[in-house]
Amino acid sequence: MKRFVYYQPQSLKEAFELMEKHKGGARYVAGGTDVMTRVKQKVWQPEALISLRWIKELSGISQEGQFLRIGGMTLWREIEMDPLVLKHAPALADAASMVANPQIRNVATVGGNLCNAAPSADGAPPLMVLEATLVIAGPEGEREVAISDFFEGPGRHCMASDEILTAILIPEMPVNTGMAFLKSGRVTQDIAVSSAAVCIQMADGVCKKCHVSAGAVGPVPLRLKRVETMAEGRKLTPELLQQIQDEAAAEVTPITDVRSTESYRRTVTGVMVKRALEQAMRQAEEPSASRDSVVSGDESGKSAPAEPSTGPYDTAFRKLIRFNLNGESVEAEVMSHKMLSHVLRKTFEFSGTKEGCGQGECGACTVLVDGESVNSCLYPAFETDGKTVTTIEGLVKEGNQLDPLQESFIENGGVQCGFCTPGMIMSAKALLKRNAHPTEEEIRKGISGNLCRCTGYVQIVESIKKASEVLAANEVKS
Ligand X SMILES: Cc1cc2nc3c(=O)[nH]c(=O)nc-3n(C[C@H](O)[C@H](O)[C@H](O)COP(=O)(O)OP(=O)(O)OC[C@H]3O[C@@H](n4cnc5c(N)ncnc54)[C@H](O)[C@@H]3O)c2cc1C
Site residues for ligand FES per CB under 6 A: 355-358, 360-365, 375, 377, 415-421, 452-455
Residue 342: CB minimum distance to ligand FES, A? 11
Beta carbon nearer to ligand FES, 279 or 450: 450
Q: Which is nearer to ligand X, 121 or 249 (CB)?
A: 121
346 contact, one of ligand FES, ligand X, none, CB 5-8 Å limit per kind: none
Amino acid at 402: L
**Rounded CA separation 134/26 (Å):** 23
Smaller CB separation from ligand FES, 264 or 419? 419
Name which of ligand X, ligand FES, none residue 415 binds, using a CB cut-off of 5 to 8 Å depending on partner kind.
ligand FES
> What is the three-class DSSP state of 326?
coil
Among 4, 6, 28, 350, binds ligand X (CB under 6 A): 28
Q: Verify binding: residue 113, ligand X, rule CB under 6 A.
A: yes
* Residue 418 contact among ligand FES, ligand X, none, beta carbon within 5 to 8 Å by kind: ligand FES
165's contact among ligand X, ligand FES, none, with CB below 5 to 8 A by partner kind, is ligand X
383 binds ligand X (CB under 6 A): no
279 binds ligand X (CB under 6 A): no
Calpha distance 412→409 (Å, rounded)? 5
Task: Answer with the entry of ligand FES, ligand X, none that 80 interacts with (C-beta below 5 to 8 A by kind).
Answer: none
DSSP assignment string, 174-238:
PSSEEEEEEEE-SSTTSPPSEEEEEEEEEETTEEEEEEEEEESSSSS-EE-HHHHHHHTTEE--H
What lies within 8 Å, CB to CB, of 458 at 6+ separation is none
**CA gap 216, 184 in Å, rounded:** 10
Range 117-156, binding ligand X (CB under 6 A): 121-122
Taking the CB of residue 358, how many other CB atoms lie within 10 A of it? 20
Nearest to 340 by CA among 305, 301, 388: 388
- Contact window for ligand X (CB under 6 A) among 115-123, 196-204, 232-240, 260-268: 115-123
| Least distance (Å) between residue 75 CB and ligand FES | 18
Q: Which residues 230-249 are close enough to bind ligand X by CB under 6 A?
A: none
Which one of ligand X, ligand FES, none is in contact with 164 (Cβ closer than 5 to 8 A by kind)? ligand X
Instruction: Tell whether residue 30 is a contact of ligand X (CB under 6 A).
Output: yes
User: Taking the CB of residue 442, how many other CB atoms lie within 10 A of it?
Assistant: 16
Question: Taking a C-beta distance cutoff of 8 angstroms, is the pair 278, 207 a contact?
Answer: no
Quick check: 165 binds ligand X (CB under 6 A)?
yes
Helix or strand holding residue 323 (H, E): strand 318-325
Rounded Cα distance, 195 and 120, in Å: 8
Q: Which amino acid is at 9?
A: P
Residue list 44-63, contact with ligand X (CB under 6 A):
52
Which amino acid makes up residue 295?
Answer: V
CA distance 85 to 370: 24
Tell me the window of 27-35, 286-294, 313-321, 396-404 that interacts with ligand X (CB under 6 A).
27-35
The option from ligand FES, ligand X, none interacting with 34 (CB < 5 to 8 A, set by class) reads ligand X
167 binds, among ligand FES, ligand X, none (CB under 5 to 8 A by kind): none
With CB under 5 to 8 Å by kind, the binding choice for 72 among ligand X, ligand FES, none is ligand X
**Whether 451 contacts 420, CB under 8 Å:** yes
* Torsion sign over Cα 26, 30, 34, 39: positive
- Residue 241 CA to residue 234 CA, distance in Å, equals 11
Of 82 and 228, CB closest to ligand X:
82
The residues with which 143 forms a beta bridge, in sequence order, are 136
> What's the chain's length in residues?
478
Nearest to 168 by CA among 123, 222, 201, 211: 123
> Cβ of residue 117: shortest distance to ligand X, in angstroms?
8
Q: Is 360 in the site for ligand X (CB under 6 A)?
A: yes
Binding of residue 377 to ligand X (CB under 6 A): no
**DSSP for residue 461:** H
**Residue 116 within binding range of ligand X, rule CB under 6 A:** yes
Q: Given the DSSP bridges, would you call strands 206-215 and 222-223 parallel, antiparallel or unpaired?
A: antiparallel
* CB-CB contact of 376 with 344 (8 Å): yes
Task: Show Cβ contacts of residue 278 under 8 Å, excluding neighbours closer than 6 positions.
Answer: 236, 241
Between residue 91 and residue 110, which ones bind ligand X under the rule CB under 6 A? Answer: 99-100, 104, 108-109
Q: E strand or H helix at 51, and its extent? A: strand 48-51
Look at residue 240 and give the partner it binds from ligand X, ligand FES, none, a contact being a CB closer than 5 to 8 Å depending on partner kind.
none
Q: Which does 402 bind (CB under 5 to 8 A by kind): ligand FES, ligand X, none?
A: none
451 binds ligand X (CB under 6 A): no
Q: Which is nearer to ligand FES, 79 or 107 (CB)?
A: 107
d(Cα 371, Cα 159) in Å, to the nearest integer? 35
Binding ligand X by CB under 6 A: which of 9, 72, 254, 394?
Answer: 72
Which of the choices ligand X, ligand FES, none does residue 27 contact, using the CB cut-off of 5 to 8 A by kind? ligand X
Q: Tell the smallest beta-carbon distance from residue 286 to ligand FES (Å).
A: 40
Residues binding ligand X (CB under 6 A): 27-35, 37, 52, 72, 99-100, 104, 108-109, 111-113, 115-116, 121-122, 164-165, 189, 191, 360-361
